[in-house]
């Protein structure tokens, strides 16, 4: 039985300048472990989008990455407002980001669609008023 | 084509990072999620966004370099992040369209 390598990060919800640090760290760790560039790109982009979403909408959260023999699993948890309409949120171009977020280059309405695009499976568990957990898997 | 050749031909300023490396193709955009899904590894990415998130996106997409158009100046924390992550940042007074036209001329 192979060991599962796990990484845990706390995502600071109040500092946009550090948003993405967890994703960059995961990218570096996967590179050190010798994974191919296309896998690293998928994981790091999907995770970055999730990380940004947590900062924009949920005042931060946690990110856990599990590296299995046959897959990489990314679990993003927050205790933010939840997503009232997941189907709508999954549409490219739909965004509820405020203007002060948009001027930073975010809020294109591509976050969740990109997360789905770059992963082999994505599950959204969300409850309005309680939070959201997103589980993404990239197959190796 | 090497970044250094474009720097010389278009009088670009090398703000930070290595210019002795090749780039392959150009992408222009400021919306980071859109950039994230469209920039290929090795691309030269032209933008007017000067914040530290640009450096994270350049790192994650493995863009060859960020080229700041219209005389935009990289913010201090972004400059630090670029140094820490080995990201090359160039700048120019020219608008993005003009940069694209001239780079296309060099590549053809």
Residue A3 in this model has a pLDDT that exceeds 90:
no
| Residues with Cβ within 8 Å of residue B32, at least 6 apart in sequence | A52, A104, A105, A106, A108, B49, B53, B54, B57
* pLDDT-based confidence at residue A99 (cuts at 50, 70, 90): confident
pTM: 0.88
A41–B33 C-beta distance less than 8 A: no
Distance between CA atoms of A113 and A6, rounded to whole angstroms? 25
Of B35, B49, B59, the CB nearest to A24: B59
Q: Report residue A14's pLDDT band, with 50, 70 and 90 as the boundaries.
A: confident
Number of domains in chain A: 1
Minimal Cβ distance to B53: which of A19, A109, A111: A19
What B40-44 contacts at long range (C-beta under 8 Å, 24+ apart), as own/partner pairs, is: B41/A37, B41/A41, B44/B3, B44/B6, B44/B103
pLDDT of residue A83: 96
CA distance B60 to chain A (A): 6
Report the distance separating Cα A40 and Cα A46, nearest Å: 10
Q: With a cut of 90, say whether residue A72 has pLDDT above it.
A: yes
Distance from the A133 Cα atom to the nearest Cα atom in chain B, whole angstroms? 20
Among chain B residues, CA nearest to A23? B60
Higher pLDDT, A133 or A13: A133
Contact assignment for A48 to B60 by CB distance below 8 Å: yes
C-beta atoms of B53 and A114 within 8 A: no
Beta carbons of A30 and A43 less than 8 angstroms apart: yes
Find the domain containing A56 and state its range.
Answer: 5-139
ipTM: 0.81
Mean pLDDT for chain B? 96
Q: Which residue has the higher pLDDT, A97 or B19?
A: B19
> Which residues in B lie closer than 8 A to residue A108 (C-beta atoms)?
31-34
CATH of the domain at A90: 3.30.565.10
Provide the token pair at A95. 């965004």
In chain B, what residues touch A16 (CB-CB under 8 Å)? 51, 53
Is B9 within 8 Å of chain A by CB? no
pLDDT at position A1, please?
Answer: 55
Cα separation, A14 vs B30, whole angstroms: 22
Per-residue pLDDT at B102: 97
CA distance B26 to chain A (A): 18
Query: Measured between beta carbons, which residues in chain A are less than 8 angstroms from residue B54?
Result: 105
Q: Distance from B35 to chain A by nearest Cα, in Å?
A: 10
> What average pLDDT does the structure give for chain A?
92
Q: Which fold has domain B3-107?
A: 3.40.1390
User: Nearest to residue B33, comparing CAs of A99, A53, A58?
Assistant: A53
Cβ–Cβ gap B33/A20 under 8 Å: no
Q: What tokens were used for B92? A: 């120019």
Which of B41, B57, B59 is the closest to A37 by Cβ?
B41
Residue burial A8-31, b: 16+ Cβ < 10 Å; e: rest: ebebbbeebbbbbbbbbbbbeebe
Q: What is the mean pLDDT of residues B85-105?
A: 97
d(CA B65, CA B43): 7
A15 vs B105, higher pLDDT = B105
- The three-class DSSP label of residue B27 is strand
Tokens 């400021």 sit on residue = B30
Of residues B65, B57, B64, B53, the one with CA closest to residue B90: B65
Answer whether B52 sits within 8 Å of A109, measured CB to CB. no
A18 has pLDDT over 90: no
């Amino acid at each position: 039985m192979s060991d599962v390598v796990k990484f845990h990060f706390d995502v600071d919800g109040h500092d946009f300048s550090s948003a993405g640090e967890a994703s960059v760290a995961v990218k570096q760790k996967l590179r050190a472990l010798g994974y191919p560039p296309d896998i690293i790109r998928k994981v790091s982009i999907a995770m970055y989008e999730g990380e940004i979403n947590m900062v924009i909408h949920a005042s931060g959260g946690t990110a856990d990455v599990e590296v299995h023999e046959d897959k990489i699993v990314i679990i993003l948890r927050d205790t933010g407002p939840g997503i009232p309409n997941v189907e709508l949120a999954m549409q490219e171009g739909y965004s509820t980001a405020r203007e002060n977020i948009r001027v930073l280059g975010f809020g294109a309405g591509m976050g969740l669609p990109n997360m789905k695009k770059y992963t082999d499976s994505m599950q959204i568990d969300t409850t309005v008023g309680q939070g959201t957990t997103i589980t993404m898997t990239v197959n190796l | 084509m090497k970044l250094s050749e474009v720097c010389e031909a278009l009088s670009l300023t090398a703000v930070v990072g290595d210019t002795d490396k090749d780039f392959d193709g150009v992408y222009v955009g400021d919306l980071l999620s859109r950039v994230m899904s469209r920039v290929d590894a090795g691309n030269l990415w032209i933008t007017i966004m000067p914040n530290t998130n640009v450096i994270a996106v350049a790192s994650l997409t493995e863009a060859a370099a960020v080229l700041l158009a219209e005389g935009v100046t990289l913010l201090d924390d972004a400059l630090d992040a670029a140094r820490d992550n080995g990201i090359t940042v160039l700048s120019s007074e020219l608008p993005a369209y003009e940069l694209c036209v001239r780079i296309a001329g060099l590549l053809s």
